Amino acid sequence: MKIFVYGTLLRGMLRAPVLRNSEFLGSGFIQGSFYDLGEYPGVCEGNDPIYGEIYQIDKNTLEILDQIEGYNPAAERQSLYVRKNVFVTPFDGGTPIEAITYFYNGDTTGCNPIACGDYRRYIMENTPGDQWYLAYGTNMNQKHMINRVGTFRQAISGYVGGYHPVFNKCVVDGGVAVNIAFIKGHGCPVAAYRLMKDQLNKLDIYEGEGTHYIRLGLPFSFIDKETHRTALGHVYIAHPSMVTEYKVPSSDYLNIIRDGYLEHGFGTTELMLQGMYPSPPW
């Protein structure tokens, strides 16, 4: 069966190992109300978007999850969470996917709402200090990035596992912009920038956060000269309503991305391997 997870079971979070052997099917969102319950979040009935991940699980995994969530099918009224069927809107704009998820069964009075709808982003935003931002398009170009948010403290090359870049985000003039899509076995090259929170707020304006792109938290692996590490970073994924058919964008747009790839140690062949376009114009 399919399950939608939205909290500590997400990749990069505390209980993610529980789903290590389950098939990851991509990301999407459901409708509800989202709350910070302290050590974990909870979803209740509502109309706000709540972002998470979809997995294919077996009966044994479901039983483990029931225990983690404090769900007893024989005593639902006394359970901490209850299982419900939901429809998940995938980020590729495709047909909603039917899945199960766990709804909180207690009182949320006095609990802080998670207004952004994304638990990983919420955790990062409530952590003091700089934040990692993951650029996979024109913002990989450092000059382009500085023009948008000013100077940044650090930039390291890395990958976001399970995604790859694709030109399928529609823009006003009828063209397309870059987006990332879930593709099993792929990894999306990124420039990981260390930014202050007010710089992320500036990017929200440029990216049309909430309508054109949605800012989410994702785990990534970044590589420096000494070690391979993982962390959480902010990334913009096209809103499903803005996803269109694949097209090749303008040469100028591609050249900005190409320069960004080269600046961060990725070759132009990496662009072709990612399937961003059939044949680059350089």
Which CATH code for domain 2-118? 3.10.490.10
- The pTM for the full model equals 0.92
Q: Do residues 193 and 135 make contact, with C-beta atoms less than 8 angstroms apart?
A: yes
Mean pLDDT, residues 115-124 taken together? 98
Please spell the DSSP secondary structure of 128-165, one letter per residue.
SS-EEEEE-SGGGSHHHHHHHH---SEEEEEEEEEEEE
In this predicted structure, the answer to whether residue 209 has a pLDDT above a threshold of 50 is yes
* 128-273 has the same fold as 2-118: yes
What fold is seen in the domain 128-273?
Hypothetical upf0131 protein ytfp (3.10.490)
Q: Where are the domains of the chain?
A: 2-118, 128-273
Band of pLDDT at residue 142, cut at 50, 70 and 90? very high
How many percent of the chain have pLDDT more than 90? Answer: 78
Rounded distance between C-alpha atoms, residue 116 and residue 121, angstroms: 8
Q: Which two tokens stand for residue 144?
A: 């382009």
pLDDT at 69: 97
In this predicted structure, the answer to whether residue 179 has a pLDDT above a threshold of 90 is yes
Band of pLDDT at residue 75, cut at 50, 70 and 90? very high
